[in-house]
């Protein structure tokens, strides 16, 4: 990563945004019910669906290598879903901020991945 500090910082931000998105999805799923057992079940189900989808198609070591359009669609679904989930639990400003960060981070990540590494 020497010579590519912006790439490394953006990759760290991407990981933190992924964690935030799945956390927001769990929170939203948890908020759908009144009974604690059902809250935990729905929160966990939404979280598990997002993690399985991400791990299968969008993770760096995904089980299936989808074309770029497919990876971006999964990212939009999971990361965008996290922002919508945050909106759904009553935090519209934070949801907008998360959405903007996700779009900028993903655009930068794809730009960095397409540029050749600087010569050492």
Alpha-carbon gap, residue 22 to 83, rounded angstroms = 10
Lookup result for tokens 């965008």: 80
Task: Give the Å distances, CA to CA, from 16 to 80, 98, 116.
Answer: 14, 11, 25
The alpha carbons of the chain give a radius of gyration, in whole angstroms, of 16
Report the 10 Å Cβ neighbour count for 30. Answer: 19
Please state which of the ranges 8-17, 64-73, 83-92, 100-109 shows the lowest mean pLDDT: 64-73
What's the rounded mean pLDDT across residues 6-24? Answer: 92
Lookup result for tokens 């879903």: 81
Backbone torsions φ then ψ of 119, nearest 5 degrees? -70, 140
pLDDT at 17 exceeding the cut of 90: yes
* pLDDT-derived band at 1, boundaries 50, 70, 90: very low
């Amino acid at each position: 990563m020497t010579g590519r500090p912006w790439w490394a910082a953006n990759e760290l931000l991407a990981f933190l945004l992924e964690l935030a998105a799945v956390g927001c999805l769990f929170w939203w799923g948890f908020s759908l019910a009144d009974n604690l057992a059902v809250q935990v079940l729905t929160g966990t189900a939404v979280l598990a669906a997002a993690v399985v989808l991400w791990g299968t198609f969008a993770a760096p070591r995904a089980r299936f290598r989808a074309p770029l359009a497919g990876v971006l669609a999964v990212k939009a679904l999971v990361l965008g879903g996290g922002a919508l989930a945050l909106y759904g639990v009553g935090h519209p400003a934070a949801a907008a901020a998360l959405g903007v960060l996700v779009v900028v981070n993903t655009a930068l990540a794809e730009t960095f991945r397409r540029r050749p590494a600087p010569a050492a």
